[in-house]
Amino acid sequence: MKVKKTHTIFIDTKLDVSQNPSNFNVRLNNWFVRNNILNTDRTTNNKWYISVKTFSMINSFSNITKGINDKIVLYTAKLDVSPDLQQDLSNATTDYVKTEIILPEGNPNVIDIRDTLNTALNVPNTEIICKFNNIDCKYEFSAVQTSTYANKRYILFENTYDLLGFEKDKLYLIDNAAYVKFKSSKPVNLLADRLIKFSLGNNSDIRLKNMNYCNHSSLYDECNMFALFPVNVQSYELIYYQRTTEDLIEIELLGNSIRNIEVLARNQDNTIIEGLSNYIMVIDLINIKEYDYQKKIYNVLFDIYMWVATFLRGYI
């Protein structure tokens, strides 16, 4: 005989502002979800499963966050004979025109950023072109080859230096007279997040019983991932999933009850998703008990036999 009991957990990360959606702890009262089976009971086959019933989230997470890593500053000399721009920017106001380029918040890839920069820089009285080298994964800036604009131009990657692979506080010169060209000092790994992976954290009272495998790197390795969703909608559209078939992943309890489930959300690189939005998730914890009544009857008859044998032993 099988008895199935489902514990449904509704998770809304927005209701707990003290936690990060990337590492969210579901805390339960210790009497909510229990085994309720004695460890000495060998007549009951007890199994637990986890399954994601529904999931919904707005695609608003981003590689670029407003005010954090979105600003590039262009300094253009007022005259073709203007002196060099000082590192401390002491002559920036008198000899140069300052232009701020703000990258739009969102989740662009390297080509999207290149196109945005070219729209802002490849204009009259600037005439700078940005390229992305797919071989070494670096951005490259230079003056347009047909440009006749002779004024010096400096680019400062104010808070985007780490994002685009440049050095902090360094002024990068573009000068037609010398046709100066510069590129990122380190490779840029800026792929748009395309996957959301949910796994069990170490603070959970449960773990996967039969180990899952996923290719975080080039090789498949063990992991605690229990759900995987593609980012298949445009920015600020709804990512939605609803289970249509029974999809059970077997788990085991580390104790006799489930009081905490740590849900980790990561991207395809197994790193924290920048600007991850709040999400709603419904998880089913399913307990299936299978009772072996033949063994129960056998145990009862054995106990009766032992009681009778012990009683009659005094009369033999």
Q: What is the pLDDT of residues 178-226, one digit of tens each?
A: 666 899 998 886 656 788 999 999 999 999 987 788 876 667 878 889 9
Q: How confident is the model at residue 245 (pLDDT cuts 50, 70, 90)?
A: confident
pLDDT value for 161: 92
What CATH number does the domain located at 2-61+195-296 have? 2.60.120
The angle at the Cα of 141, spanning 140 to 143, to the nearest 5 degrees, equals 145
Comparing C-alpha atoms, which of 2, 4, 1, 9 is closest to residue 48?
Answer: 4
Count CA atoms closer than 13 A to 296's CA, side-chain side: 9
pLDDT digits (tens, 9 = 90+) for 116-170: 999 999 999 889 999 999 888 899 999 988 888 889 999 999 999 988 999 999 9
Mean pLDDT for 8-23 is 94
Tell me, what's the pLDDT at 218?
A: 67
Average pLDDT, the chain: 86
Residue boundaries of the structural domains of the chain: 2-61+195-296, 71-183
Q: Do the beta carbons of residue 278 and residue 96 sit within 8 Å? A: no
Nearest to 204 by CA among 254, 283, 260: 260
Tally of residues, the chain: 316
Share of the chain above pLDDT 70, in %: 91
